[in-house]
Every structure is written in C-alpha cells, then in structure tokens.
C-alpha cells in the first residue's frame, strides 16, 4: 500500500515494507495530509513499494493509501 508524505517528512522510515520510489501526486486539491506521525502538512509525494512501482511502469496511476482512499500520481 502506497504512502503519502509531505516534502519535509520525505521517505517513510522504519517500516516493514521498503518504499523506494516516489512520485508527485497528480493534484493537491484533494487535500490529502501527510501520513507521517503528527505532521499536518499536505502530502505532495506518494511513495511506492517495488511491486507498486512495477504497476506504475505498466501504466497504473491510482494507488491505495491507508485511511485516505485512492491517490493519483503523475
């Protein structure tokens, strides 16, 4: 499952899954907030796992984000 973060919080750390690939969210109008700790900034980056990156390379642009539904990336 992809993770949304603000630019300041950056790559998710200390997770069981490795999030190695980042892509900008297609729109910040959806008002998705950073999923890192107590951060209240808007998310502008979506971090993907290796498996999700393969889906992205295959043309997929919508990914599930915990507690936020789906996000669309560029």
Nearest to 3 by CA among 29, 27, 22: 22
- pLDDT by residue (tens digit) across 5-42? 998 999 998 778 899 999 999 876 768 888 888 899 99
More confidently predicted of 51 and 30 = 51
CA pair distance 72, 64, nearest whole angstrom = 9
Q: Give me 50's structure tokens.
A: 């290796």
pTM of the model: 0.89
More reliable by pLDDT, 47 or 36: 47
- As a whole number, mean pLDDT of residues 33-53 equals 92
Tens digits of residue pLDDT in 58-71: 999 999 998 878 88
**3-class DSSP assignment, residue 56:** helix
Count of CA atoms in the C-beta half-sphere (13 A) of 43: 29
């Amino acid at each position: 499952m992809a993770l949304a973060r603000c630019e300041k919080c950056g790559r998710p750390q200390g997770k069981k899954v490795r999030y190695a690939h980042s892509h900008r969210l297609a729109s910040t109008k959806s008002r998705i907030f950073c999923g890192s700790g107590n951060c209240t900034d808007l998310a502008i980056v979506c971090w993907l796992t290796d498996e999700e990156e393969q889906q992205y390379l295959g043309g997929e642009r919508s990914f599930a984000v915990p507690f936020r539904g789906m996000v669309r990336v560029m």
